[in-house]
Structure 1
Amino acid sequence: MKDFFIEILTFLSDLGYLGIAIGLMIEVIPSEIVLGYGGFMISSGKISFIGAVIAGVIGGTLAQLFLYWAGYYGGRPFLERYGKYVLIKKSHIDIAEQWFEKYGAGVIFSARFIPVVRHAISIPAGIAKMSAWKFTFYTVAAVIPWTIFFLYLGMVLGENWAGIKDVAAPYITPFILVVVSGVVLYFVWKKRKNPPITTVKKYNGK
């Protein structure tokens, strides 16, 4: 399987930025591996970091939009029948639906960092007819730090990029906590900076 991945990545590397975007869109190889190889290409001078980030965000977002629209128009039966071709199992859909029903739209952001539900969470969002703009916003907000993180690790590992999942494992939980905490603090700060306007009615003595 590893050799299969390497063959695909070698082919995609010839496409440069487009290769990174396509690699993330088709979901055949885990995004960590694709981005890790992208980081290796950056360290080799084949592509730039900014260009790789843009390609990664576009590819990662489009991959989730495909699942969102599949859920939106095809519903659960369609995904249960054809989801296996993009590595989505029925059990993944079950878990994702439970998370979406329990935590609401905000889970579209937080679940992006958690195995199993990371990709499947797009499906119940589509089935529930969640706003496409809101879905895209939450998805992009999560894809950006994820892309930067694994591209950076790939750059650091260089020729040892293939072991990126093992290297990243101890950092995933702290990474998630930092990102989610940062987002929570931002919204708390924004809410305090712009408090809701309340209407005070004057007492007229009647």
Structure 2
Amino acid sequence: MLTVFHSVSNLLHSVGVAAIFLVLFVECFGVPSPDEIILLFSGYLVSAHRFSYPVVIIAAVAGSTLGATGAYFLARLGGRRVMLKYFRFLFRTPERLEYWEQYFQRRGDIVVLIGRIISGVRAVISYPAGLFNMPYWRFLIYTVIGSLIWALLAVTVGVILGPHVVQALNATKHYELPVIVGLVVLAALWYWYDRRKKRRQESPSPE
């Protein structure tokens, strides 16, 4: 953690606010990036009067939005062909793929909005949005809103914590694994519930 923190610190000192834009831009393509660390540390630099709060927020939202847009169109232009060729096992049948496409058309707004706030999910949420042809204007609106919420939360926490950012980051590491396990369990339960619901819908009703 300290190594990553020092790397982020050096990047911010050498590149400035542009580093925030670059890190969040790359993250949206699914590349592991220290987005939480750079936003929290930027908040600390804001509290030390070295960065401007509005400029940091604008750089973060711009990087996230442009990166998310790139991933969205990457998936929209070639994602379905690749998905059907190499990842058919994820959907099993064309009907299953159609089901998820309709689901995303109905509830994609809230999925994108919440996905932009959750760690890990925001790195890949643009791909299903593009794959399932979510209208770009809707994707853009909820991406900007979600990115803004996340940036405001992370940077503000950094401002409040100030020089204690490093200790806070080390403390959160103790809760990272339980949170991941909890998310996996919730996803498994939701998948089980969804399959059971669909089987009931497909089974013939007794006469």
Report the TM-score range of the alignment, normalised by the length of the smaller protein. 0.5 to 0.7
Q: What residue number does 1:72 align with?
A: 76
Q: 1:56 matched to which residue of 2?
A: 60
1:24/1:60 contact within 8 Å kept: yes
Pairing partner for 2:132 from 125, 128, 136: 128
Q: Equivalent residue of 1:161, what SS?
A: helix
The separation in 2 between residues aligned to 1:61 and 1:32, in whole angstroms, is 16
Check the 8 A contact 1:23/1:29 in 2, yes or no: yes
**Amino acid aligned to 1:152:** T
1:144 aligns with 2:148: yes
With structure 1 as the length reference, what TM-score do the two structures score? 0.63
Stretches of 4+ moved more than 6 A in 1? none
> What does residue 43 of structure 1 align with?
47
One-letter amino acid of the counterpart of residue 14, structure 1: S
Q: Structure 1 residue 71: deviation in Å?
A: 0.8
Greater mean alpha carbon deviation, residues 100-109 or residues 31-40: 100-109
Pair 7,116 (structure 1): closer, same or farther in 2 beyond 3 Å = closer
Partner of 1:15: 15
CA distance in 2, matches of 1:100, 1:119: 17
Is the contact between residue 8 and residue 38 of structure 2 (CA under 8 Å) also seen in structure 1? no
Q: 1:117 aligns with which of 108, 118, 121?
A: 121
Q: Secondary structure at 1:40's aligned position in 2?
A: helix
Once the 2 structures are TM-superposed, how far is the Cα of residue 57 of structure 1 from its aligned partner?
A: 0.9
Structure 1 stretches lacking a partner, 5+ long: 80-89, 170-206
% of aligned pairs identical? 30
8 Å Cα contact 1:71-1:126 kept in structure 2: yes
Task: Determine the C-alpha separation between the residues in 1 that align with 2:129 and 2:70.
Answer: 12
The 5-angstrom pairing of residues 157-196 of structure 1 reads 157-162=161-166, 163-164=168-169, 166=171
Post-superposition shift, 1:166?
Answer: 4.4
The one-letter amino acid paired with 2:161 is L
The answer to whether the Cα contact below 8 Å between 1:32 and 1:164 also exists between their aligned partners in 2 is no
Shift of 1:153: 0.8
1:153–1:164 CA contact under 8 A, matched in 2: no
- Tell me whether 1:106 sits opposite 2:110 in the alignment: yes
How large is the RMSD of aligned CA atoms in angstroms?
A: 3.2
Q: 1:3 to 1:138 in 2, by over 3 A?
A: same
| CA pair 167-143 structure 1, distance change in 2 beyond 3 A | same
Q: Which amino acid aligns with 2:60?
A: G
Higher relative contact order at CA 8 Å, sep ≥6: structure 1 or structure 2?
Answer: 2
Aligned residues: 156
Q: Pick closer, same or farther for the CA change 1:68–1:9 going to 2, 3 Å.
A: farther
Provide the C-alpha distance between the structure 2 equivalents of 1:39 and 1:18, rounded to a whole number of angstroms.
15
Partner of 2:86: none
TM-score under structure 2 length normalisation = 0.63
Mapped contact 1:39–1:154 kept (Cα < 8 A): yes
SS in 2 for 1:25: helix
CA deviation after TM superposition for structure 1 residue 67, in Å: 1.7
